[in-house]
Amino acid sequence: MSEAYSVYWPQKRWLAAAVVAGQRLPVLFGGPHASEPSFRRAAVKPGDLLYPVGVRDQVLYVFARMQVADIIAVNGAGQPRLEDYLAGYQGWRFLASMCTTEVVIGEEGTAVCLDRPVPGEILKRLIYRPRRGPRPVKHVSPDGMLMHSLGMQGIYRLAESSEADLRAILTGPAGTPITRPRPGKRQDAPANMDPIF
């Protein structure tokens, strides 16, 4: 049975995605670090669905969906080189970092869009299914705003109802970007939390 996962894109990554907006998502990259986590370590396998997500002004956005066709280890002894794959996915190089160790080849990718905000009522009921058991998204305010992105960062398995919600948002009509006043100063956020840009 296939699973669905959210894949967090930090602000730098999704801002770079503006150059491929409207194009179908064909590939993702994984590695050993929190900024580019491992799909294999997250137990992603062929047939699973991946939903890149990001945060702006305390609002979660879903950017695309892709079904995994293959996950290929690269840059190790006896493994293909990352550069060989990057040559075939020139427009998507911004998704790979210096430490990339996995290439996730996709199929049936949707177009990348940057105007699909997740409404607060859906964010409040979004459920992840880690190995320890279901959990809601952390740091959501009573009015449905995401106070910190920390609980989103990484690759997380989605509950079926949450996957259905993200699919409906992504395949539905474009949303009006939800805006909020920007925080005054970055140091206003607790030291152990990423501020929301």
Q: Which fold has domain 4-170?
A: ph1033 like fold (3.10.590)
Q: What 8-state DSSP symbol labels residue 191?
A: T
DSSP conformational letter for 33: B
Interatomic CA distance for residues 147 and 138, integer angstroms = 9
Count CB neighbours of 161 within 10 A. 11
Range among 19-28, 30-39, 126-135, 184-193 with highest mean pLDDT value: 19-28
Please indicate, yes or no, whether the overall pTM of this predicted structure exceeds 0.85: yes
The share of the chain scoring above pLDDT 70, in percent, equals: 89
Q: What mean pLDDT do residues 181-188 have?
A: 48
pLDDT tens column, 125-184: 999 997 788 889 889 999 999 998 888 899 999 999 999 999 999 998 888 654 444 555
pLDDT in tens, 84-118: 999 999 899 999 988 899 999 999 999 999 999 99
Reported confidence tier of residue 37, pLDDT bands at 50, 70, 90 = very high
